[in-house]
Amino acid sequence: MSKKTFFFIFLGILLIPFAFSYRGTLTPSFLDRYSSERDNIGFLNADNNWTGNNSFVNVTYLNENVVYNNITYNTTNIFFNSTNIKGSDLSGSDGEIDRTYISSVDMISIDNFYLHPEIDYNVSGTLITFLNPVWDDQDITLWTTEINIFNVNYVGSDATGSSGNMNRQLNELNVLQVVVDNSLLHPSIDYSYDGNTITFLNPLWDDQVITVWKQ
């Protein structure tokens, strides 16, 4: 065996441990442990209470110089938190329009009626503007969730079928709440939902306002 051949064999033997060490940096063994234990991981809500919600979207794991992106876990629970105020807590005077209040909000109800965003109120950042008259003695509940939810407004004519018919349908994904003309609908009583389609079980007229809150 030549000295040159012996040198390359010796060099290869020396480099083998380094090769396995480098390969180890590409193997996120701790992710397996995270995957098996993620049910024990969750978020705390604004009141510092455990929610059990372990939804992580586009999470980035960094293992030395290797990054693993876009690992998503589904949300198991969505909890609504509520804050009660009175009309007198708003800016402006009793019975006026455009009264304001500062708070984070996902849904609003006044005296048991759910408001339609962009129709009954607007939100800019944390500034809520009530577009209709609000009286000082009215009860207002501000609803928020641990994750971002979105709303979409429709009118009855956007649904299938004819005005006043039952079983009219709208296609929507990830539906959480449905409100028609300021009334919160009861799942399985006022509407059914199969994951893709809302079916209104009661008569629905073309001029009725519909808001769908979705994840």
Whether the predicted model's global pTM rises above the 0.85 cut: no
Residue 177 has pLDDT above 50, yes or no: yes
Residue 153 has pLDDT above 60, yes or no: yes
**Residue 104 sits in the same domain as residue 134:** yes
pLDDT at 146: 77
Q: Lowest mean pLDDT of 37-46, 85-94, 119-128, name the range.
A: 37-46
Last residue within a domain, chosen from 39, 71, 103: 71
Q: What distance in Å separates the CA atoms of residue 207 and residue 157, rounded to the nearest whole number?
A: 7
Tokens 């018919």 locate to: 165
pLDDT at 80: 82
Q: Express each pLDDT in 27-61 by its tens digit.
A: 444 445 444 555 555 556 555 555 555 554 444 44
**Residue 84 sits in the same domain as residue 65:** no
**Residue 65 sits in the same domain as residue 105:** no
**Residue 136 sits in the same domain as residue 155:** no
Q: Express each pLDDT in 140-152 by its tens digit.
A: 999 998 778 899 9
pLDDT at 59: 46
Mean pLDDT, all residues of the chain: 80
Q: Are 31 and 15 in contact (CB under 8 A)?
A: no
- State the residue range of the domain holding 46: 3-71
**Residue 88 sits in the same domain as residue 64:** no
**Residue 161 sits in the same domain as residue 137:** no
**Residue 89 sits in the same domain as residue 38:** no
Last residue within a domain, chosen from 16, 38, 71: 71
Q: What distance in Å separates the CA atoms of residue 69 and residue 62, rounded to the nearest whole number?
A: 9
Q: Which residue has the higher pLDDT, 11 or 84?
A: 84
Q: Give me the number of domains the chain comprises.
A: 3
Q: What distance in Å separates the CA atoms of residue 112 and residue 153, rounded to the nearest whole number?
A: 20
Q: Are 169 and 197 in contact (CB under 8 A)?
A: yes
pLDDT at 156: 98
Tokens 């590409």 locate to: 26
Q: Which residue has the higher pLDDT, 147 or 168?
A: 168
**Residue 134 sits in the same domain as residue 164:** no
Last residue within a domain, chosen from 111, 145, 179: 145
